[in-house]
Amino acid sequence: MKKTYLFIFSLLFCVLSHAQVTSEKFESRKLNSTRDLKIKLPNNYDPESDLKHPVIIVFDAEYLFDPVSGQ
């Protein structure tokens, strides 16, 4: 039983330590409202690097962000 708890704890710790999901507010002039944006950065993201990363935009991300970012 101890090993099961240890395994679950270590799995959660690994997932949380590598997650780089941030939320930001975006003011839309066209919609006259504020939108919440979720941004997930790659695990090896370095702002100082010249390496380019692809951008994936997910509409209706309230429901689809986690399945898409898991891929």
- Per residue in 3-54, pLDDT tens? 776 666 665 555 544 557 888 898 988 889 998 888 888 877 888 989 888 8
Asked whether residue 42 is assigned to any structural domain, the reply reads yes
Asked whether residue 45 is assigned to any structural domain, the reply reads yes
The domain in which residue 24 lies consists of 20-70
Asked whether residue 46 is assigned to any structural domain, the reply reads yes
Asked whether residue 62 is assigned to any structural domain, the reply reads yes
Q: How many domains does the chain have?
A: 1
Q: Is the pTM of this model over 0.75?
A: no
Asked whether residue 24 is assigned to any structural domain, the reply reads yes
20-56 burial code (b ≥16 CB/10 A, e <16): eeeeeeeeeeeeeeeeeeeebeeeeeeeeeeeeeeee
- Per residue in 42-54, pLDDT tens? 877 888 989 888 8
Q: How many residues does the chain have?
A: 71
Asked whether residue 14 is assigned to any structural domain, the reply reads no
